[in-house]
Structure 1
Amino acid sequence: MTAVPPATATAVAPATTPSARRRTTAEIWIVLGLSLGQSGVYAIVNIVARLTADTRLADQTATLNASQSDRSLLDLVYQLLGIAFALVPVALALYLLSGRASATWTGTRRRIGLDWGLDGARPGRDVAWGFGLAAAIGVPGLAFYLLGRALGITVSVQASALNEHWWTVPVLVVAALQNGLLEEVVAVAYLHERTRDLGWHRAWFVVWSSLLRGSYHLYQGVGPFFGNVVMGVVFAWFYTSRWGRHRVLPLVVAHTVLDVVAFVGYALLPQDWKDALGL
């Protein structure tokens, strides 16, 4: 009997048997345990440590994109290694989906809308939606951060602490893209595929996806937790809406734009401006 070519393999049916559901649930926990779920657990412990410290939450600092070495080239190697290994869970999620959902790597990318460059893809539409989502989230997000600082429920976030090198801005841009791919592919696209396999209602997916997103931002304080939950609701709802059409690329574009503005803008902003804005 001739094997069916991978490109024409039939999509796997949802997990309907108890053993299939247990396997799918275990897979979700493993993927999250290696990526954003692990970050969420550490962030919960971190916020407990912050809230029980002698220093007020508002007087504490969270540093992103810190230098790893005083030597420029060694620091660059560390930064690139960190970005590369952070993308491994993305590859794992795509690999697992390709094995159980569409049976091909290309088919999986099309299924979740990560098909930029493939036939039939519409990058212009994805970019337009991405910038629209970034604008819709970015301005309220900054206002929410400043409000949290004023209320004392958000730490001072240093979006970039890299030393000034010729490669600083390019690395910050790549780091922003890495964050966009990791969070949107795993917390939205992968989680939606797997919770749909388990028969979850769309509303439950939106709730758990947004709570996951908020959890791994808790190290920044209580304010960013709620701000990212709101962002998670918007992104998860959009992804499953008739406008989002299960395409994750607009979310990746939006997240990358937001982080590029935060990372690069913070790195280039004069210190007196940062002080005036409370950054």
Structure 2
Amino acid sequence: MVVLTVTLGLSALRSALSLLDALLAPVPLNQQTVALNAPGAQADLVDLAVQLVRVLQLVGWGALGAYLLVRGGIALRAVGLDRTRPGRDAAGAAGLAALIGVPGLGLYLVAQAIGVSVTVQPSVLDDTWWRTPVLLASAAANSWAEEVVMVGYLLTRLHQLGWSQNRALLAQALLRGAYHLYQGLGGFVGNVVMGLVFGRVWQRTNRLWALVGAHALIDVVAFVGYALLAGAVSWLP
């Protein structure tokens, strides 16, 4: 509970409040926007520093989960954070990214079109020399933090507490969906499904790097792809 309070659990509470505020607003949900990577300062180099601090925070969240596992006597290789199967991990990451990413985009577009999700802007950063590197770093940091804390750490701890695999899997998936509630119903449902799939894959294969890689690929396509295509294609809100 302490780890979740200072990391993604607190994000879930903020996200729920954000959705409540959006629902109470006079503007329809699908006419509201939320930016995932937004400027944090007016001065260019200060903004770069702010973005890197955000990345560092996410890296720290994942490192906290990994550190506490090690302190608890669980080697990182026991949760799939080792270098013994790089080829299979990379192939698994690509497959998972395709399995989740393509239907996820379709779900978002449908949810936004029927008015149950806000318009998500993966990046509204200015077109500066550091935008793409920062978006790549943000994608990697997001994937590291979420998969280490939500899968490697949380599922391991729930197992130690005597929870069944299915009960732990459902709790993890619902929490993952909860901290995406600020995106609306589409973001919640999509991330619950992602949590169920990713969690079950880890329970069966015990390979966490594959999940981190898949999540990173999905975010890279979303962050960098949106930055390049926004305003250039008609189907992208």
Distance of 1:70 and 1:96 partners within structure 2:
37
Opposite residue 138 of structure 1, the aligned amino acid is: G
CA offset at residue 278 of structure 1?
A: 3.7
* Residue aligning to 2:203: 240
Contact 2:69 2:76 in 1 (8 A): no
CA change 1:270–1:194 in 2 (3 A) is closer
2:68 counterpart of 1:96: yes
2:182 counterpart of 1:219: yes
Distance of 1:189 and 1:231 partners within structure 2:
15
Distance of 1:168 and 1:278 partners within structure 2:
20
Distance of 2:232 and 2:89 partners within structure 1:
37
2:99 counterpart of 1:139: no
> Secondary structure at the residue paired with 1:165?
coil
* Residue aligning to 1:277: 235
Distance of 2:236 and 2:94 partners within structure 1:
26
Contact 2:29 2:115 in 1 (8 A): yes
Opposite residue 47 of structure 2, the aligned amino acid is: D
* Residue aligning to 1:203: 166
Distance of 2:35 and 2:54 partners within structure 1:
15
* Residue aligning to 2:23: 51
Contact 2:36 2:120 in 1 (8 A): yes
> Secondary structure at the residue paired with 2:40?
coil
Q: Deviations over 1:215-254 (max 9, x none)?
A: 000000011101110111000011101xxx2111000000
Distance of 1:154 and 1:148 partners within structure 2:
6
Opposite residue 235 of structure 2, the aligned amino acid is: L
Return the TM-score normalized by structure 1: 0.83
Q: Deviations over 1:113-155 (max 9, x none)?
A: 1113xxxx11111010000000000110011001101110010
2:221 counterpart of 1:254: no
Q: Deviations over 1:35-76 (max 9, x none)?
A: 110000001111111111111101110111101123221111
> Secondary structure at the residue paired with 1:271?
coil
2:236 counterpart of 1:264: no
* Residue aligning to 1:191: 154
Q: Deviations over 1:3-54 (max 9, x none)?
A: xxxxxxxxxxxxxxxxxxxxxxxxxx01000111000000111111111111
Runs of 4 or more consecutive aligned structure 1 residues displaced over 3 Å after TM superposition: none
Return the TM-score normalized by structure 2: 0.97
> Secondary structure at the residue paired with 2:72?
helix
Q: Which runs of 5+ in 1 are unaligned?
A: 1-28, 103-107
Distance of 1:251 and 1:95 partners within structure 2:
19
* Residue aligning to 1:81: 53
* Residue aligning to 1:112: 79
Q: Deviations over 1:85-133 (max 9, x none)?
A: 222221211121111133xxxxx221111113xxxx1111101000000
Distance of 1:256 and 1:153 partners within structure 2:
26
* Residue aligning to 1:149: 112
Distance of 2:164 and 2:145 partners within structure 1:
24
> Secondary structure at the residue paired with 1:65?
coil
Percent identity among equivalent residues?
A: 45
Opposite residue 235 of structure 1, the aligned amino acid is: F
CA offset at residue 270 of structure 1?
A: 4.5
* Residue aligning to 2:93: 130
* Residue aligning to 1:3: none
